[in-house]
Copies of this chain bind each other. A is one copy, B any other.
């Protein structure tokens, strides 16, 4: 896949050896997560809000109520910064300051654009559902016109984006290693046992796409 040309804003300055600008790495991180922290400036102050997203091609789609301040701010053309972080492990080093975390993160900067057409909005709603759970859309009632009207969908082009990746063990000097155990404790965001909604169909078996839920790795 193509490389993104790092802009002044998306060039990684701290620990540049951890920087990645290829779409393959950036998209793989985006596709494993589905919640981002989005930053905007409101009344001159930074505001960061966690929200759901879906990547569709070279765009990130975000949605929310037409009444939400975040959505209205994005719709007004305000610049935003989307941050996605996957925490992969804790790095245990021989020195206090050598401790670290293994992670993969992406930052996307830009300006979003409202998706206006009902057809494109409906397609986006399908993408939101399918992105979190492939095959779910066919099993549920699609949005009504009323629900579509109450939802704002915006798209953010994946033009200014970069990734930062830390893997592996500590990087302390050899002489720092002493008696302590050192290594990495890996972490993963893992599903538990599905819990049935008592209001739902008591006869419906848990579908495979939920009982064996996996995110793209």
- Alpha-carbon separation in the docked complex, A155 to B205 (Å): 50
Which residue of the partner chain, among B38, B174, B187, contacts A189 with CB atoms under 8 Å?
B187
The reply to whether B179 and A184 contact each other, CB–CB distance below 8 Å, is: no
Residue ID in chain B nearest A80 by CB atoms = B46
Distance (Å) between the CB of A115 and the closest chain B CB? 15
The reply to whether B201 and A177 contact each other, CB–CB distance below 8 Å, is: yes
Q: A50-B83, A96-B142 are in contact. Are A14 and B181 (CB under 8 A)?
A: no
Q: A96-B142, A183-B195, A197-B182 are in contact. Are A47 and B81 (CB under 8 A)?
A: yes
Does A1 lie at the interface of the complex (its beta carbon under 8 Å from any beta carbon of B)?
A: no
Which residue of the partner chain, among B93, B140, B210, contacts A185 with CB atoms under 8 Å?
B210
- Alpha-carbon separation in the docked complex, A32 to B38 (Å): 21
Which residue of the partner chain, among B82, B99, B188, B201, contacts A132 with CB atoms under 8 Å?
B99
Q: A169-B199, A180-B201 are in contact. Are A189 and B189 (CB under 8 A)?
A: yes
The reply to whether A210 and B141 contact each other, CB–CB distance below 8 Å, is: no
Q: Beta-carbon contacts of A187-199 to B below 8 Å, as 1s and 0s?
A: 1111111111111
- The quantity of this chain's copies bound in the complex is 2
Does A216 lie at the interface of the complex (its beta carbon under 8 Å from any beta carbon of B)?
A: no
8 Å CB contacts to B: which residues of A47-63? 47-50, 52
Residues of chain B within 8 A of A140, CB atoms compared: 93-96, 98-99, 180
Q: Beta-carbon contacts of A78-99 to B below 8 Å, as 1s and 0s?
A: 0111110101001011111111
- Alpha-carbon separation in the docked complex, A100 to B180 (Å): 44
The reply to whether B191 and A187 contact each other, CB–CB distance below 8 Å, is: yes
The reply to whether B177 and A96 contact each other, CB–CB distance below 8 Å, is: no
Q: Beta-carbon contacts of A122-146 to B below 8 Å, as 1s and 0s?
A: 0001101100110011011111000
A residues apposed to B, CB below 8 Å: 9, 13-14, 35, 37-41, 44-50, 52, 64-65, 67-69, 79-83, 85, 87, 90, 92-99, 101, 103, 105, 107, 109, 125-126, 128-129, 132-133, 136-137, 139-143, 147, 151, 169-170, 174, 176-201, 204-207, 210, 213
| 9 A-B pairs closest in CB distance | A182-B200, A37-B37, A39-B46, A39-B48, A39-B39, A48-B83, A186-B192, A181-B204, A50-B85
